[in-house]
Amino acid sequence: MIIGITTLPIRVKGILESDYDVELRPLAEVDFTQPETLAVYRDYNWRDLFRDKRLKTIPFEKRILLLVEPSNVNPSAYVVPWLRRRFCKVVTWDRRLLATDARCRPIDVNPFAEPPDYPENRFAGIPFRDKKMLIAVAARRVNFMPWSNYARRNRAYRYFDRELPDDFDLYGNWWRDFDFKNAYRGVLKTTDFAGKVEAMARYRFALCYENNARQPGYVSEKISDCICARCVPIYYGSDGIEERVPRECFVDARQFKSLAEMKDFIVSMTEAEHGRYTKAMDEFCKSDLAKRFTRKHFSDCLAKALDLKPRQPASML
């Protein structure tokens, strides 16, 4: 099988080509008149109607839509059914689409740091007393769609900038210095996922707000990065997170009536109480549940959705 695809992380491409009988190429390099070919469009949207002339030349039965971004990032693919109907199959994590559209196939969002790579707490040598209180790592984003979580997240950042001036650090792209008087620290010195985990490990808690908290099924790398760091996530996301991550591993931000109540909770947590969360994260990273936060799991879900055949070992050829 030859698949032409718009974009795909290089590590996922390597897993798919190693484990399955498939070769992935840029979309423009594939002749879709040939048998055993598929076209995968990642996060197709209304702009593609005008800038992509190739889709209409590809047979309908070979068109696959892969939805990774949530609706506040790529709204048209979710709210305009006609766009999705341009494809014979839709691969998505969105439970509403999976429940209402027979053409949809399930997948989980692709992670960055992988909990199975952190079965032991690499950061156990950092004493609780030496850890700063609170961190957030996120880019500055603005979105006026009602299902976006950015406004809620930004309110939390501004609150803790004011109320914990010496104990809250914010890292990320595109923030402006005048947005915060105390918290903003620029971008992380090491911007890959391992660097993010190492930075977060020096904090007790992380504000962990998903980009979208209204679409059931959307669970991104944000919570798994915290767990790898053994930095307790203050998590605000969509329903269903408990099916992916045990409740003992995170603090549900929805339980607080106000940000002031959230602040009192984290400031008053003892070392012993924090240790119980750390122990739960240790156990999670060693469990089968953690495998859902791996590129291998993402690749296997995608392969199943595309009906790819496992590659036969060389000894069997």
Digits of tens for pLDDT over the chain (317 positions)?
A: 999 999 888 889 999 999 999 999 999 999 999 999 999 999 998 888 888 889 999 999 999 999 998 888 888 999 899 999 999 999 999 999 999 999 999 999 877 789 999 999 999 999 999 999 999 999 888 776 776 888 899 999 999 999 999 999 999 998 877 788 899 999 998 878 899 999 999 999 999 999 888 888 899 889 999 999 999 999 999 877 988 999 999 999 999 999 999 999 999 999 999 999 999 999 999 999 999 999 999 999 999 999 999 998 755 55
Statement to judge: residues 140 and 224 lie in one domain = yes
Examine the domain organization and report whether 175 and 78 are in the same domain.
no
User: What total number of domains does the chain contain?
Assistant: 2
Going by C-alpha positions, the residue among 205, 293, 278 that lies closest to residue 244 is 293
Residues 134, 65 share a domain: no
Domain limits for position 61: 2-110+295-316
Residues 150, 100, single domain; the answer is: no
Q: Answer yes or no: do 281 and 307 share one domain.
A: no
Residues 284 and 300 in one domain: no
Question: Which domain CATH number covers 162?
Answer: 3.40.50.11660
Q: Are residues 149 and 64 in the same domain?
A: no
Asked whether residue 308 falls in the same domain as residue 237, the answer is no
228 and 302 part of one domain = no
Same domain? For 131 and 78 the reply is no
Could you give phi then psi for residue 308, rounded to 5 degrees? -80, 150
Which pTM value belongs to this model? 0.90
If asked whether residues 161 and 276 sit together in one domain, one would say yes
Query: Do 88 and 187 fall within a single domain?
Result: no
Give me the phi and psi of 132, to 5 degrees please: -70, 165
